[in-house]
Structure 1
Amino acid sequence: MRIAFTKMHGLGNDFIVLDTRETALPALAPESVRALADRTRGIGCDQLIVLEGDPEATVRMRIYNADGGEVEACGNAARAIGLLLGEPATIATAGGTIATTPEANGVSVDMGEPRFEWDAIPLAYAMDTLVMPVGWDMLEQPVAVNVGNPHVVFFVDDADAVPLETLGPEIERDPLFPRRINVNVASVAGRHTLHLRVWERGVGLTRACGTGACATAVAAMRRGLVERHVTVHLPGGPLAIAWGEDGRITMTGPATEAFRGSFEWGDYA
C-alpha cells in the first residue's frame, strides 16, 4: 500500500504530514511512528501529523512525537497545517480547537487560553504554579503552564549555558509530572524579547517549539518580566507571541513545505 506524505517544518521543527481525509490508513502503531521518524532509516521528523475529517472543524490534527507517543498540541505543526490548507481554518486537536490564518509573514494561530491550575497542567499534587517550590540542579522555581500541552518554564541569565540535554530528560520524566512535561529555559533580553531553548517530551532538544514559545511568553508576562507582545527567539528563528486582554494567545511565524513523496506502508508497519 503506497502512502503519500508531505514533509513540512516550522523554524526547523519538522513534520511528516499524512492526510487521511480521503484515504484511510491502517492502524498506526508506535513502532511505525518511530520507524518513520528515524532520520537514518526512515523519512525523519520530530512529529508525525495525521489529518482526519471532523464534523465541527476544517480538519482534525493528530500529533505523534518521534518516540511514538500521541500528544495534545503542537504550535509549529498548527502553522504548517494552516499553510497547507491555504485559507482561514479551524483545527481540532486533543488539546482543543485552534484557528489558523495565513498571512504575508507566515501563519497566525489563535492558540486559545492558557491554564495555570495545578491539576490542569497536570502536576502530581497541588502547588503554586507561578513560582513552583521545586528545583533540579541549577534550574529552580519554574512556572507551569498548559497551552494545550504541559510546560514548565525556567528563567535564567543565559539559556545557552544550561545543560538542557542532561537536565531536560530528568525533568521531563520526574514523578511530579504524571503526563511528562516539556522543559523550557529562557532568558529575558528586553521588555519585548525572550531567548528560548526547549527540551520537548518524546522528542528531545528541538530547534523550535510553538507551544513552548507561547508558554514561555505567558509565564514571563505573568511574572511581569515582559510586555503583552513579545518576540521569542529560538534556535530555528523567531516567533511573535501576543497575549490579548481576552485571555487568548496569538502566535505568528513562518511555516515551510519542504517536499512531497510516498512510501510503502509495509516497510514501516
Structure 2
Amino acid sequence: MRVPFVKMHGLGNDFIVLDARAGGVPAMDARLAAALADRKTGIGCDQLILIEPSELATFRMRIFNADGSEVEACGNATRAVGLLHGAEATIETLGGLLKAAPADGGIAVDMGEPRFDWQAIPLAYAMDTLTMPVGWEDLDAPAAVNVGNPHVVFFVPDCGAVEVERLGPLIEHDPLFPARINVNIATVASRSHIRLRVWERGAGETRACGTGACATAIAAMRRGLVDRQVTVSLAGGDLAIGWGADNRITMTGPAVESFRGTFDAADYGVAG
C-alpha cells in the first residue's frame, strides 16, 4: 500500500503531513510515527501530522513527535496545514480548537487563551507559575504556561550560551512535570524582540517552535518585560506574537511545502 505524504516546514521545524480524510492512510500509532520520523531509515521529521475528518471543525489535526508520542498542539504545524488548506479554517486538536487563515507574512493562527494554573500546566504540586521557586543549575525561577501544550520559560542574559542539549532533557523529564515539559530559554533583546531556543518535548532542540514562541512571549508580557506585540527570533526565523485584549494569542509566520512523495506501508510493518 503506497501512502502519499507532503513534507513541509515552518522556520525549519519540519513535518510529514498525511491526509487521512479520504482514506488510504494506515492507522497511526507511536511505533509507526517514530519509524516514519527517523531521519536515517524513514522519511525524517520533527513531527508527523495526521489530518482527519472532524465533526467540530474544518478538520482534525493529530500531532506525533519524533519519538512517537502524541501531543496536544504545534503552532508551526498549524501554519503548515493552514497553508495546505489554502483558506480560513478551524482545526480540532487535543489542545482545543484553533483557527488559521492566510495573512501578510504567511499564516495567522488564533492559538486560543493561555492557562497559568499549576494544574493546567500540569505541575506535580501547587506553586506560583509566574516565578516558580525551582531551578536546575544556573537556570532558575522560570515561568510556566500552557498554550495547548505545557511550557516552562527561563529568561537569561544570553540564550546562546546555555547548554540546551544537556539541560533540556534533564528538565523535560523532571518529576515536577508529570506530562513532561517543553523547555524555552529566552533572552529579551528589547520591548518588542525576544531571542529564543526551545528544547521540544519528545523531539529535542528544534529550529523553531510555534507554541514555544507563544508561551515565551506570554511569560515575558506577564512579567512586564515586553509589549503585547513582539517578534520572537528562533534559529529558523521570526514569528510575530500578539496577546489581545480578549486574552487570545495570535501567531503569524511562514510555512513552506518542501516536496511530495509516497511510501510503502509494508516497509514499516503495515499490511496493505
TM norm structure 1: 0.99
The yes-or-no answer on 1:161 pairing with 2:132 is no
Q: Do the aligned partners of 2:4 and 2:18 also contact (CA within 8 Å) in 1?
A: yes
**1:73 positional shift:** 0.1
1:176-195 equivalences in 2 (<5 Å): 176-195=176-195
CA distance, structure 2, for counterparts of residue 115 and residue 34 of structure 1 = 30
**1:26 positional shift:** 2.9
1:8-157 equivalences in 2 (<5 Å): 8-157=8-157
- Structure 1 stretches of 4+ with a deviation exceeding 6 A read none
SS of corresponding position for 2:231: strand
Aligned-partner residue type, residue 230 of structure 2: V
1:169-180 equivalences in 2 (<5 Å): 169-180=169-180
CA distance, structure 1, for counterparts of residue 154 and residue 115 of structure 2 = 17
The yes-or-no answer on 1:245 pairing with 2:245 is yes
**1:209 positional shift:** 0.1
SS of corresponding position for 2:119: helix
Aligned-partner residue type, residue 238 of structure 1: D
Q: For residues 88-112 of structure 1, give each alpha carbon's deviation from its aligned partner in whole angstroms, at most 9, with x where no partner exists.
A: 0000000000000112320000000
CA distance, structure 2, for counterparts of residue 178 and residue 23 of structure 1 = 35
Q: Do the aligned partners of 2:195 and 2:232 also contact (CA within 8 Å) in 1?
A: yes
CA distance, structure 2, for counterparts of residue 33 and residue 234 of structure 1 = 26
Q: Do the aligned partners of 2:3 and 2:24 also contact (CA within 8 Å) in 1?
A: no
CA distance, structure 2, for counterparts of residue 26 and residue 154 of structure 1 = 40
The yes-or-no answer on 1:7 pairing with 2:20 is no
**1:24 positional shift:** 4.5
Number of residues of Structure 1 aligned to a counterpart in Structure 2: 269
SS of corresponding position for 1:120: coil
Deviates more, 1:95-104 or 1:252-261: 95-104
**1:216 positional shift:** 0.1
CA distance, structure 2, for counterparts of residue 29 and residue 89 of structure 1 = 26
Aligned-partner residue type, residue 256 of structure 1: V
Name the Cα RMSD after superposition: 0.7
Aligned-partner residue type, residue 94 of structure 1: L
TM norm structure 2: 0.98
1:229-268 equivalences in 2 (<5 Å): 229-268=229-268
Aligned-partner residue type, residue 146 of structure 1: N
